[in-house]
């Protein structure tokens, strides 16, 4: 149970899906809460009534759950500091605005409430990641001509602005450390002024480094998938995605790159996050995903791959689990994503895709005669229980030797006829697993056996 007093929050606006930047921020908050046995709070910043939807709120929550980032307090589960949607906290924003008005620290302009930015005050933002940043109050909010721009805290429609609501909520929810993207650094001095005016102690701040695309520009839609769910559909494992996102700005040390949530939560240090922007490198993501894919238990791997087989039009339910698990184990480290692994192993489930890929048109009549002789003898000499990779290979080698052929001459056509691919796991292993009857049927289709 959380008890350390560390309270952090992820505060998304439900105006879009959970994108990579948001997931990264949420993950670092989660890590810091778990590292300290603290609380991870989910607060929905839905003051933009036009663009916020319940649907987006749900998608964001689903995205967090997919990544395994469970929260301790939030709009769905409540908690001691609710409500957890800003739209339900209007009273406290109004009450504090009245207080600032009463004390002459804010003024009205029509229905709007404006905070008067004090002149000549020095502010130091002690950022855990960026270090100390000095700002003069006059410079915290400026017009283009350099003059001070006061801060709107309540808009004329009665809604609070982001900079104001975030301060009131972080204070009221007892947040001890604000961890968010570096794009908010410029907002922080304004928020510090508001803390001061309201007579509150500001929380600690930690701004996370920017995430860049492969072209070193700020990550955006141009770089491909932005919502975390798209990565699920593309065949990335949540555990791998977690691992990969954690590596954007942090590493557990000792060159360790592949790890799980527990290890990350044990080792995470906010002060060791680097401020240099990190690059969202697809090759790295593929590598991390492949490593997690390899490490899965056979049953789990099969369960994860099944929907991907189905989306290729294959029917895993026609086979027993053991057969499918053995097929995936035989695939070894092939496939960087679950999607690729499903594709690369399709021939274990159906001959259809093999026929689509391979038509044996490169085999001359003479070679076909040779293959027919070879396969007919091989199938004549080996039947279950002798139908094993080792015996198949020994028999093939023996035959090639006495017939002046090279193993490749028979093994390549066998590979093509069974898998429809140039590359596969050991072809005799594939033949063993497919079974004698299925191999016969496939070879017969290409007239390699009679």
Task: Report, as residue numbers or ranges, the catalytic residues.
Answer: 221
In the complex with ligand GLU, which residue's Cβ is closer, 180 or 190? Answer: 180
- Among 10-18, 59-67, 90-98, 147-155, the segment contacting ligand GLU (CB under 6 A): 10-18
In the complex with ligand GLU, which residue's Cβ is closer, 8 or 414? Answer: 8
In the complex with ligand GLU, which residue's Cβ is closer, 21 or 235? Answer: 21
* Count of residues in contact with ligand GLU, rule CB under 6 A: 7
Query: Helices 20-36 and 54-66, interaxial angle, to 10°?
Result: 60
- Assess 180 for contact with ligand GLU (CB under 6 A): yes
CB of 12 to ligand GLU, least distance (A): 5
- Which residue from 13, 227, 338, 424 is in contact with ligand GLU, where contact means CB under 6 A? 13
In the complex with ligand GLU, which residue's Cβ is closer, 210 or 258? Answer: 210
**CA 215 and chain centroid, separation:** 20
Hey, which bits of 299-445 come out as E strands? Answer: none
CB of 13 to ligand GLU, least distance (A): 4
- Tell me, what DSSP letter sits at residue 110? T
In the complex with ligand GLU, which residue's Cβ is closer, 155 or 184? Answer: 184
b vs e for 98-117, b when ≥16 Cβ sit within 10 Å of the residue's Cβ? eebbeeebbeeeeebbbbeb
- Which residue from 6, 11, 304, 414 is in contact with ligand GLU, where contact means CB under 6 A? 11
Q: Which of residues 25-64 bind ligand GLU (CB under 6 A)?
A: 45
CB of 277 to ligand GLU, least distance (A): 18
- Assess 160 for contact with ligand GLU (CB under 6 A): no
Compute the distance between CA of residue 24 and CA of residue 34 in angstroms, rounded to an integer: 15
- Assess 218 for contact with ligand GLU (CB under 6 A): no
In the complex with ligand GLU, which residue's Cβ is closer, 180 or 301? Answer: 180
- Assess 167 for contact with ligand GLU (CB under 6 A): no
CB of 142 to ligand GLU, least distance (A): 21
Other C-beta atoms lying within 10 Å of the C-beta of residue 290: 20
Least Cα distance to 427 among 382, 396, 399, 403 occurs for 396
Enumerate the β-bridge partners of residue 60.
none
Hey, which bits of 2-53 come out as E strands? Answer: 7-10, 39-42
- Assess 20 for contact with ligand GLU (CB under 6 A): no
- Assess 184 for contact with ligand GLU (CB under 6 A): yes
Compute the distance between CA of residue 289 and CA of residue 86 in angstroms, rounded to an integer: 37
- Assess 166 for contact with ligand GLU (CB under 6 A): yes
Look at residue 253 and give its three-state secondary structure.
coil
CB of 280 to ligand GLU, least distance (A): 19
CB of 180 to ligand GLU, least distance (A): 4
Compute the distance between CA of residue 359 and CA of residue 351 in angstroms, rounded to an integer: 12
Answer yes or no: are the C-beta atoms of 440 and 379 closer than 8 Å.
Answer: yes
CB of 85 to ligand GLU, least distance (A): 12
Q: 380 CB contacts (<8 Å, ≥6 apart)? A: none
- Among 7-15, 65-73, 139-147, 208-216, the segment contacting ligand GLU (CB under 6 A): 7-15
Look at residue 190 and give its three-state secondary structure.
helix
- Which residue from 12, 38, 160, 316 is in contact with ligand GLU, where contact means CB under 6 A? 12
Compute the distance between CA of residue 132 and CA of residue 125 in angstroms, rounded to an integer: 6
DSSP strand pairing (151-154 vs 177-181): unpaired
The two counts, helices (H) then strands (E), for the chain are 19, 11
Residues that bind ligand GLU (CB under 6 A): 11-13, 45, 166, 180, 184
């Amino acid at each position: 149970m959380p008890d350390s007093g560390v309270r952090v929050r992820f505060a998304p606006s439900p105006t879009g899906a959970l994108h990579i930047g948001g997931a990264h921020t949420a993950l670092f908050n989660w890590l810091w809460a778990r590292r300290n046995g603290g609380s991870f709070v989910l607060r929905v910043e839905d003051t933009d009534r036009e663009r916020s939807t319940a649907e987006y709120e749900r998608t964001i929550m689903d995205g967090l759950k997919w990544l395994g980032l469970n929260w301790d307090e939030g709009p769905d589960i409540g908690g001691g500091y609710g409500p957890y949607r800003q739209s339900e906290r209007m009273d406290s924003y109004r009450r504090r605005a009245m207080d600032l008005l009463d004390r002459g620290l804010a003024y009205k302009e029509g229905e709007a409430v404006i905070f008067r930015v004090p002149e000549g005050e020095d502010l130091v933002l002690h950022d855990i990641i960026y270090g100390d940043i000095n700002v003069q109050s006059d410079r915290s909010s400026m017009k283009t001509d350099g003059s001070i721009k006061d801060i709107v805290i309540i808009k004329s429609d009665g809604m609070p602005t982001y900079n104001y609501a975030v301060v009131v909520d972080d204070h009221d929810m007892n947040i001890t450390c604000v961890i968010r993207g570096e794009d908010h650094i410029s907002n922080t001095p304004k928020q510090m002024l508001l803390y001061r005016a309201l007579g509150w102690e500001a929380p600690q701040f930690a701004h996370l480094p920017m995430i860049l695309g492969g072209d070193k520009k700020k990550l955006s839609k141009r770089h491909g998938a932005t919502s975390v769910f798209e990565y699920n559909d593309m065949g990335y494992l949540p555990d791998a995605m977690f691992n990969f996102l954690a590596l954007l700005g942090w590493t557990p040390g000792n060159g360790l790159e592949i790890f799980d949530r527990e290890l990350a939560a044990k080792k995470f240090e906010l002060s060791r996050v680097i401020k240099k922007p990190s690059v969202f490198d697809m090759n790295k993501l593929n590598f991390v995903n492949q490593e997690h894919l390899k490490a899965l238990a056979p049953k789990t791997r099969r369960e994860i791959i099944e929907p991907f087989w189905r989306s290729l039009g294959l029917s895993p339910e026609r086979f027993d689990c053991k057969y499918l698990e053995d097929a995936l184990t035989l695939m070894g480290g092939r496939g960087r994503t679950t999607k690729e692994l499903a594709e690369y192993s399709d021939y274990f489930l159906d001959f259809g895709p093999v026929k689509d890929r391979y038509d044996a048109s490169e085999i001359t009549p003479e070679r076909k005669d040779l293959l027919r002789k070879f396969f007919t003898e091989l199938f004549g000499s080996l039947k279950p229980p002798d139908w094993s990779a080792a015996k198949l290979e020994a028999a093939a080698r023996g035959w090639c030797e006495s017939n002046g052929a090279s193993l490749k001459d028979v093994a390549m056509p066998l590979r093509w006829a069974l898998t429809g691919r140039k590359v596969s796991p050991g072809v005799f292993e594939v033949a063993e697993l497919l079974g004698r009857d299925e191999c016969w049927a496939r070879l017969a289709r290409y007239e390699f056996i009679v």
